[in-house]
Chains A and B, each alone.
Chain A
Amino acid sequence: MPSRNARPKPPPTEFKAIAAEWARAKQLKELEDAVQKKPESAKADDARRAALEAHRKKAFERRCFWTIGFWGWLLCIHIIGILLFTSGFLLTRLVLDEQSKCDNPPIEPLIEWKGKGTVDGGCWHPKTFDKAVIVLVDALRYDFTVPVEEGDHAEVYHNALPFLYESSVQSPGNAFLRPFIADPPTSTLQRLKGLTTGTLPTFIDIGSSFAGTAIEEDNLLIQWRAQGKRIAHLGDDTWTALFPDYFQPNISRAYDSFNVWDLHTVDNGVLDHIFPLLKPDQAQKWDVLIGHLLGVDHAGHRYGPNHAAMTAKLQQMNGFIQNLTKEIDENTLLVVMGDHGMDSKGDHGGESDDEVEAALWMYSKKPVFGRTQPEFKTPPATAKIRPVNQIDLVPTLALLLGIPIPFNNLGRPIEEAFIGLKGSAWDVLAAASSITSAGIRRYQASYFKARGIEQSTKPGSPATLWKDAEALVQAGTKSVSWKALYNAYTAYQEETLRICKDLWASFDIPKMILGVITMAFGVVVLLLYVSRDEDEDFAVLDNAELDFAERSLELQQGSPAEPEIASYKSFSRSLAKTGLLSGAIIAALSSGLVQITGSGEWLLAAAATAIGSMLAVTGVLLRIRGIRILNLLPNTPWGWLSVVFTLSQSIGFASNSYTIWEDSISLFFLSTFGFVSAIASLQLISVRDRTLGIYHSILFVVLARVASFSKLCRDEQMPYCTSTYYASANSSTSAPWQLAIPFLVFLILPSIIKSYMQSSRSYEGIAPMWIGYVFRTGLFLAAVYWTLDAADNGDWLTSIPEKLLKTIHVSIAQLVLAVAFVAGTTAFIWAPPCVNIFTTAANSSRAQITVLGFGNAHGARYLLLPINIAAACILLSKPMGGGAIAIMLWQILSLAEIVDLNDLSAETIGPVTLALLGNFHFFKTGHQAVLASIQWDSAFIPLLTLRYPWSPLAVALNTFAGQILAVTSAPLLAMWKTSPKRRGVLESTSRALAALVAYYAVQSLATMAWAGHLRRHLMLYRVFNPRFMMAAAVLLVVDLVAIGVALLGVRTNVLAISEVFGFAD
């Protein structure tokens, strides 16, 4: 069987055979007709007919060309709109690869000390501590640590953790407590990045690798490791994702961080394992010990701060920290801090005061900490007073422990740690500040160089502030000027930080608005295109008599000179010509303008081009075609239904809840469609149609509900959701029982497709071979692949070496993809129509030609294309996802039947439901609108190592399988059960595609507009932004697939059908 799969081309003979048989039968019939009619010159007629066919073929290919041109223009519009919005909205930061070196300080240190420039003495600054214990109490809000008088608005979370405050009041030389302000987004992962690198987080850090979460830029842990320090880690496993292979293997212990309901496992793990490590014998095994406790955070998520569980947790932390201070030795620094706070409900992620205000407490057994002013001995009463930034921890820790400050640091040293016990060591503090400032300056220079931006030299800019400080250094080294010098450096650091925050955290609102306008206009153009008057174009499509008359007219004219018979023929041409031409002109003009003025605003030129050419196209649509704005409003219940589906979801994207629960909402809409279509089917006259309509409607709904059992929950859906996509909540492998799914798909799916084709007698031609054998084999191999994968993951086959196993299953995957894409495409291009032509000997005087599958010639043959795509997607999705895709294919077939039975092919509801179905199965294939749900491992299904562009392609096929299959199948809705005599196939499929793309365009417009509008919303980075990114990516993917697969597929299909049956128009 495999040999048959691998055969690249189906026999052309079969194709010819059918064509020949058709021609012979036709001739036979014509001969008989001719006998009855007047005898005409048959030969001349034949020649004319051939000329007409050639002419029509050429005309069709031209129409294809212009239709694709129109779609290409549309794609450009979408790209420009998304680019415009993104450039104003998605703030990006370049990740630089440079790292600080111990022996290469950015500036000569201001003070001298023993062992300067070595790890033992301190690289850039005199070392204070040998070792450090860093305890991160997740979500430790500042006000948790400040005692409140009983009865004086004391909440349950007050006074439960008094040790930090009391110790810094009682022994200020040993401890200090200060508010610790996080930079939003306040999610743990982003915070850990800030706390270790000293930079501000942006949504996307442009790094060098395309996958993975590991931090690449210079950070404290890299520096510790480079200086030969050993790091141990206990607690939250986010650290191991960010810093793989950094930690001492035997003594480190990572715990799963996502089980928000579990308040104790992580904490008890840290508590149990941290104290043995502090004992003198174990203490030799590490230099830096990181403990990350999650109990407080989880108590907040689960109960909110106002709960007894929170009190208990804080009390436990109190005792824990107290014990820690007893256990550590003189040379060890103890840091206790929160990475963020929590809001009144115990959640975090945004930038409200409660979320960014954490606490920082440092402790040393030997008294070293001082205060610059005596009144600072009492810790601030609220987080608004004397806060420090979280990034300030980075230079402070680095200098205290004698390692270089990470290259990207923007923080500044915390004064308590350097001012000395008496509070008078301004020289040390100024030296620390000087070396930090120089580091910042070096980083800024590199960054601006890498970005190609000039640094400002205006008065008050960092450059002039730096010069001021330098002038002070030159002036002299009297004790008075140290303080002034420190202040000068502080001014420089503050200004630089402000500029960086502006650079990385402000939105370009005019560009965002321009992007939204471009997208909105694009949607209007699409809707106008979709809503063009169906009556005038396609009313006579299937009228055989008219066709006959037209044909003879064209025949008599000999070579007809582009008759203006049907306007649809020149529709896309005028649109595409207008769009491309006006676009080109405006693009040339505006880019010339940009060039001349030298403003570099290429995006604005693009915006002008897009909007200008859309105006032109709209003009064509409105005036020349006589389409009125009123046409935009639907005029049937079905039209209203598609409006309700699209619009209500778009409005829903304004709410984080509806965005979070989109998977369930899609099911709800799909069921609604099914029930409406069942009601509509009941209105059909023919009992057979009625029964079939109800059957397919119910089937459609039931299948959707069955598929909905496949779930991958996002964090925000907890605890109301149970993931079923993977074996368990914290694994990314499939459960053994799920392996049954691909085998079921292999057994059932081809038969289902066969049954749908048989209902129109279209299971003919290449179909039995391709669907019954090749497709089935592909599915079987996919099932084998996933079985081997499970065996590999579960170590079931220990007898086979792992490497061999990997090679085997990667080869299987490659084979399936080769069958689906290479052989599949070849077969699709060369396959004859799925029909069977035979001539029955006439029992009367007339010969009868019977064509099995004639009525579904277009649809049945085109179906081969979605099938091939589905086969690839099934392989690239996990077993559960493969099942979902199989169900989706089944649903698409039912949808096509529903559309046909209820005569909806001119309505938008079919494509809109299909688009909804695509989104639904996006969720059912184990995805969510969050970046974390991207299944990066799918890149390694067909490959052993990363290979461009194949790896990203595999990930894209895995991620957008639902939508890709939906677009590929959109033409099916317009072509299912249409005969070769159907005219305007290209136009009606392009229209169906436009309706489908319009749905996705509206979604990306809505998510874009809402994300822009809610840019200060707490959930921006967790909900709205990811959903916008998903919608934008989906729109571009859908556009590309519509052009590259669907439209080209339709072209191939129509050419192949018409080759046999003649061109219908």
Chain B
Amino acid sequence: MPALDPTPTAISSAAAAHKASNKAGEPKDSKDAPTPPVQILASPQAQVVRHLQPALLVSLLLARFRALVADPVSALSSALPLVVAVQVTYAVVCLPAVGSQNARPAKKARPGEKRKAGPESTGPNIAVTTLVALILSAIASLALHLILVLFGAPFLTHVEHTFLCSAHLSLLGLFPLFYTRGVSSSDWHEILSASAPFDEAFGGLVGACVGAWLGAVPIPLDWDREWQKWPVTIVCGVYAGYLVGKVLGGTLAFSKRFS
């Protein structure tokens, strides 16, 4: 490996060996088979909740928008438990917890059996998985906070604003991924390098990030609107982007990848 760095190089006719081959053309079939996208559970409840969740999030944002503009910190912090509830319900009902796909491949498909499934399952403990995913999301929101600061968010002032904003981003974008993918390093390598297949969770993350990026666009305008204040536009961008990304990721773009 180190040989590809242009360190001591012997001069023979083939001396000018270069690293081109190792780079851009990077073969996709590296070590193991590509990770499959995460399917939504097939139960009718899952289908209902799957569509209910975006509606709930949108109505929450719309209902609290005035409060968000008036006092972002209190609005964001008071909305946090609600968002947690919505996301946890969505995850538990709609998404297969990490490990469940290996444990019981297609059993959930049967509609009548659902009630028994929970306690009996030899698969993952839903409660523990949820809790761990929540804790991981909380930790990740610290990292997101840092990233927001790197993009130019205030460093010393508005700490609560920025942190709450990143907490929401983390809950929407990262929590479903922690829930479905756990801490598998290969999965996360794929997710972070943007080469994971699109599903609702990954699509949501990409959408939320793009939304947050675009959310910064109106801030500098001199319209003197209350809603231009930090971090209202970012939060709105995150929600809008998350919903769009989730819907697209679950439907049109499902199992596709960034080439």
Contact = CB atoms under 8 A, between A and B. Distances in A.
Interface string B165-183: 0000000000000000000
Nearest to A685: B26
Given A683-B195, A686-B1, A903 B9 contact: no
A542 B18 contact: yes
A931 interface: no
Given A542-B20, A686-B4, A854-B9, A665 B14 contact: no
A421 to B, nearest CB: 50
Given A672-B213, A903-B23, A683 B7 contact: no
Contacts of B193: 679-680, 682-683
A668 B1 contact: no
B150 interface: yes
B5 A760 contact: yes
Interface string A655-683: 11110110011011001101100011011
B18 to A, nearest CB: 5
Given A542-B20, A668-B216, A682-B192, A657 B221 contact: yes
A661 B9 contact: no
Contacts of B20: 542, 903
B222 A657 contact: yes
Q: Is the interface of B mostly helix, strand, loop or mixed?
A: loop
B147 interface: yes
A981 B16 contact: yes
Contacts of B192: 679, 682
Q: Is the interface of A mostly helix, strand, loop or mixed?
A: helix
A685 B22 contact: yes
Nearest to A856: B6
Choose among B4, B11, B30 the residue with the greatest number of A CB atoms under 10 Å from its CB: B11
Contacts of A852: 7-8
A178 interface: no
Nearest to A648: B217
A855 B220 contact: no
Interface in A628-663: 637, 655-658, 660-661
Nearest to A702: B150
A884 to B, nearest CB: 16
Interface residues of B, number: 40
Contacts of A216: none
Contacts, number: 112
Contacts of A848: 10
A705 interface: yes
A688 interface: yes
Given A548-B13, A671-B151, A981-B16, A854 B220 contact: no
A684 interface: yes
B159 interface: no
A792 interface: no
Nearest to A901: B23
Nearest to B152: A667
B4 A705 contact: no
Nearest to B27: A685
A848 B13 CA distance: 13
A683 B26 contact: yes
Contacts of A759: 5
B5 A855 contact: yes
A1011 B18 CA distance: 49
A709 B6 CA distance: 37
Interface in A689-744: 689, 701-702, 704-705, 708-709
Contacts of B63: none
B252 interface: no
B220 to A, nearest CB: 4
Contacts of B23: 684, 902-903
Given A682-B192, A760-B5, A671 B26 contact: no
Choose among A542, A671, A848 the residue with the greatest number of B CB atoms under 10 Å from its CB: A671
Contact of B220 (A658, A674, A687, A981): A658
A657 B189 CA distance: 39
Contacts of B13: 544-545, 548
Interface in B12-41: 13-16, 18, 20, 22-24, 26-27, 30
Interface in A802-845: none
A705 B10 contact: no
A665 B220 contact: yes
Contacts of B16: 542, 544, 979, 981
Contact of B24 (A672, A675, A679, A903): A903
A29 B23 CA distance: 32
B52 interface: no
Given A542-B16, A664-B220, A979 B6 contact: yes
Nearest to B4: A686
A850 B220 contact: no
Contacts of B22: 685-686, 689
B8 A685 contact: no
B139 interface: no
A615 to B, nearest CB: 37
Contact of A671 (B10, B14, B150, B195): B150
B42 interface: no
Nearest to B195: A683
Nearest to A548: B13
A156 interface: no
A849 interface: yes
A760 B24 contact: no
Contacts of A674: 150
B41 to A, nearest CB: 30
Contact of A849 (B11, B27, B189, B222): B11
B6 A668 contact: no
B166 to A, nearest CB: 15
Contacts of B149: 705
A855 B150 contact: no
A163 B14 CA distance: 94
A813 B150 CA distance: 35
Nearest to A701: B150
A636 to B, nearest CB: 9
A689 B193 CA distance: 14
Contacts of A977: 6
A855 B30 CA distance: 28
A851 interface: yes
A668 B5 contact: no
Interface of B: 1-2, 4-11, 13-16, 18, 20, 22-24, 26-27, 30, 147, 149-152, 155, 189, 192-195, 213, 216, 220-222, 224, 258
Q: Which 3 A-B pairs have the closest CB atoms?
A: A855-B6, A682-B193, A661-B220
21 contacts: A542-B16, A544-B16, A548-B13, A658-B221, A667-B151, A668-B152, A672-B151, A675-B147, A683-B193, A685-B22, A689-B4, A705-B152, A760-B7, A761-B7, A851-B11, A854-B6, A854-B8, A854-B11, A856-B6, A977-B6, A979-B18
Given A542-B16, A664-B220, 10 more contacts: A29-B11, A542-B20, A658-B221, A683-B193, A689-B22, A850-B8, A850-B10, A852-B7, A902-B24, A903-B20
